[in-house]
Amino acid sequence: MRKGSVYWILVLFWCVVIFSVTSSPGATSENTGLVIKAETNVTSNVVSKINFGIRKTAHVTLFGVLAILLLLAIGERNNAPLKAWFLATIYGATDEFHQIFEPGRTPALQDVGIDSFGAVIALIAFCLLRRLLSKRVALKFRDQ
């Protein structure tokens, strides 16, 4: 099996993970709020803020990972980071659309923006880290 094929399988797997999470009744804002309230001793206002932070961090993380997997699957082609960002953002939009049909879920355009933000931040960090590491390796071999 080719390396690119493995990455596309990982992309598909990660899309299924995202779909599963956003289809789960336990992952609704109401349910996560109830868990936070049960596990902490804070006011409803604080629970709401913690819940918001956790949920938006989950969006950034899930779609950041998706964008990196897409970049690896696409390979070193022209505009690969832009294509990975675009595909992750489109998947975020389709995920929000599918939530229309899920009980207890509310689709939000704001969440597509957060998904897109997570994708772009992850791609920037990944590309910068990869460039930095390749320069360090090149310097190491040059000095030997």
User: How many CB atoms lie under 10 A from the CB of residue 45?
Assistant: 8
Cα 96 from Cα 108, distance rounded (Å)? 7
Main-chain phi, psi angles of 136, to 5 degrees: -65, -40
In the chain, where the domains are located = 3-143
- Residues of the chain with pLDDT > 70, as a percent, come to 93
**pLDDT number for residue 142:** 58
Q: Judge if pTM exceeds 0.75.
A: yes
Cα 58 from Cα 109, distance rounded (Å)? 16
Cα within 13 Å of Cα(19), Cβ side? 10
Residue-wise pLDDT for 39-78, tens only, equals 888 898 998 999 899 899 999 999 999 999 999 999 988 8
Residue pair 73/4 in contact by the 8 Å Cβ criterion? yes
